[in-house]
Structure 1
């Protein structure tokens, strides 16, 4: 199939990764349509989509969003759907059997997707296969079982399914643990309890791509040098690095679970032993995917090749030292962090740095994304404080 024959529906248009993905599909000659919930979504304000649709698509109403996607796909106007967020990837995986009648769905079968989205299932596989990860309790039903386990305080408590450190809690002692669980009426079976790894070292992400023959075709690693919220959140400044140990760990994990296509793996380097340990899988295109394109890796091309059963281009090498900044949240990091003037690289350095949402060739998305970010800020911070 020629790239010009591919009609891509990108779902959802509010996600910042929509920008580089729409640009890349456009560059390949595809017809690109974005599904947006608002005219302020970057998928609507960008010049790269061929068509822009504003219809209901929100995690606030799952059924209504499913109906929106079903209506669009049954029109026959698209032959490939690519999710941008955890919500859209999950929705497409759950409904893949039906939606595959109308288009190629660039999300894994539900059985595989569920392993990747569930932090507890991911940790269980890591510990079974000897893949570096934090010590995690696999089967607990009560606070007493947590307290009497092999875990020492501080203990991390976080939802099995979630994003951006929402619900993340570090309990320093038994009293804090009991108070957090009781106060928030936590159902222990829906949470992960694991050892706390000090966040005094660097964190990493690995942007991975696996083809239909279970071969790794992309394994790009970047350091997360700053993140917001500071206590634990999404990266604000990244740098591509060469870490073969991380590639080995992430490759083994994804191949063992039978993953296909794009995945993003989060890791933290343990300052106690210097080992980078897997924390979770983000089962979709990375929010920082622009760094892949800047480093010479074309994930859009790989998605099309895999979905339409063509040999997938392998990217064994990429540019090291390429930097990516999310200016909106990196500014918040600067305001809140006590390391604002001592961070390395310097917050003021622009060497080899690209912005996630700004470019002179397509400037409007930066402004619309900034407006939306301001609107979401208080709500997002409340989620993390609850």
Structure 2
């Protein structure tokens, strides 16, 4: 317990997410009074013993209006000192209402103008290209197929939405003829897309996760690599490991400073296997799903958040343990069933050294089983 923060009331949104659970435990360790907003009794945090208080309301991407109403109601109650989001949609809601809601609580989110600018992947690419930070070559002002063809970009290229996350709307295009056909078939508005060179997938997907204080100083960062993904063709990482790459940290530190970001920030990159250069793909303006890696490797971002709000100085935490792995076991099983490389992957699927499960613990097994049931119900709905 930290006497500086004992009794501070923390509202954690998005109780479905695994990072919400990790931050709940970390805030509890500081002596804070934690409340989580959940959408379902099978949400990760609702099934856990760790939250001091649980609210069953609306918190999901399928009902953004209802989610917004619940968030506004809870923050305006004045019962909480700090509010922290863990998904893009709840972070967007908080950011867009920050001026109004900041009279009630500290919101761990960037101001709306900064937030909206950074959420546009084209803007991120523009900042990188204007400041010689490595990223895929991007045509960030294309309005039509003709604009793309008139540029000097080489095929293959990719088209992906400039806003949003995941692989939805992602298209790999090999030729000029395929480009015109794809845009017509899917009725794509080119001005709403990121148009950039295709980076061969032989390299690692990596991310640098930073905490930037209110003065704009990076006070901590840890880097991890993702070795397996599900869905295989563009899903989330199911085995992630902390690594040491100073070049990745240097790039991300420069980027967040150029963009004026603060708080928890994740910078996603891909290693271009052709020259071993990490290239920026996007930024995440919230705690990321692999937050557990940070806590296990020695970086307590929850403490840094509270120090940034209530203390004179934020404790620097630049050193972290490498070789720590976190595995999403249920989804990794799906990867094993579906992947043709199940016996060839490195690290081996059977290698459990230095590996901790994303959700399971003997002292609090509920979240693991809740996530399993949640996933099975989702599978049945989408059949």
Give the shorter-chain TM-score range.
Answer: over 0.9
Tell me the equivalent position of 2:362: 360
Aligned-pair Cα RMSD in Å? 1.6
Partner of 1:178: 180
The equivalences for 1:321-336 within 5 A come to 321-336=323-338
CA distance in structure 2 between the partners assigned to 1:262 and 1:110 by the alignment: 16
Q: What CA distance in whole angstroms lies between the structure 1 residues aligned with 2:377 and 2:154?
A: 39
Aligned to 1:163: 165
Residue 69 of structure 1: aligned partner: 71
Measured at CA, do residues 377 and 299 of structure 1 come closer, stay the same or move farther in structure 2, by a change above 3 Å?
Answer: farther
Which of 253, 256, 264 in structure 1 is aligned with 2:255?
253
1:142 and 1:308 map into 2 onto residues whose CA distance is 50
Question: Following the alignment from structure 1 to structure 2, what is the Cα–Cα distance between the partners of residues 183 and 371?
Answer: 37
> Which runs of 5 or more residues in structure 2 are unaligned?
none
1:7 aligns with 2:9: yes
Correspondence 1:100 to 2:102: yes
Cα separation, 1, equivalents of 2:155 and 2:308: 45
Q: Which residue of 1 aligns with 2:84?
A: 82
How far is 1:309 from its partner? 5.1
Distance in structure 2 (CA, Å) of the matches to 1:74 and 1:113: 22
Q: Which moved more, 1:158-167 or 1:171-180?
A: 171-180
3-state SS of 2:288 partner: coil
Contact in 2 for aligned 1:42/1:369 (Cα 8 Å): yes
Of 281, 294, 297, which aligns to 1:295? 297
Length-normalised TM-score, structure 1? 0.95
Q: Does 1:111 align with 2:113?
A: yes
Residue equivalent to 1:241: 243
Give 3-state SS (helix, strand or coil) of 1:53's partner. Answer: strand
The 10-residue stretch of structure 1 (141-150 or 301-310) with the greater mean CA deviation from structure 2: 301-310
CA shift for structure 1 position 187? 1.4
Contact 1:106–1:307 at 8 Å: present in 2 too?
no
Q: How do 1:197-346 residues align onto structure 2 when only pairs under 5 Å count?
A: 197-308=199-310, 310-346=312-348
Q: Does the CA-based 8 Å contact 1:209-1:262 persist in structure 2?
A: yes
- The answer for the alignment partner of 1:126 in structure 2 is 128
Please state whether the residue corresponding to 2:316 is helix, strand or coil. Answer: coil
Report the Cα distance in structure 2 between the residues aligned to 1:231 and 1:62, rounded to whole angstroms: 27
Secondary structure at 1:45 match in 2: coil
TM-score, scaled to structure 2: 0.96
Q: Which residue of 2 aligns with 1:141?
A: 143
Q: Shift of the alpha carbon at 1:76? A: 1.8
Gapped regions of structure 1 (runs ≥ 5): none
Q: Secondary structure at the match of 1:371?
A: helix
Q: Distance in 2 between matches of 1:375 and 1:301?
A: 36
Distance in 2 (CA, whole Å) between partners of 1:351 and 1:26 is 29
Over residues 66-122 of structure 1, what are the superposed CA-to-partner deviations in whole Å (9 max), with x where a residue is unaligned? 221121122221110010111111111011011111100000101111122111100
Q: Take 2:214 and 2:311, find their aligned partners in 1: how far apart are those partners?
A: 8
- Determine the C-alpha separation between the residues in 2 that align with 1:328 and 1:180: 35
> 2: distance between equivalents of 1:178 and 1:371?
43
In structure 2, relative to structure 1, the CA distance for the partners of 1:332 and 1:147 (3 Å cut) is: farther
Residue 379 of structure 1 deviates from its aligned partner by: 7.6
1:44 aligned counterpart, secondary structure: coil
Give the deviation of 1:63 after TM superposition.
3.0
Which residue in 2 is equivalent to 1:22?
24
- Alpha-carbon separation, structure 1, partners of 2:92 and 2:300: 23
SS of equivalent to 2:6: helix
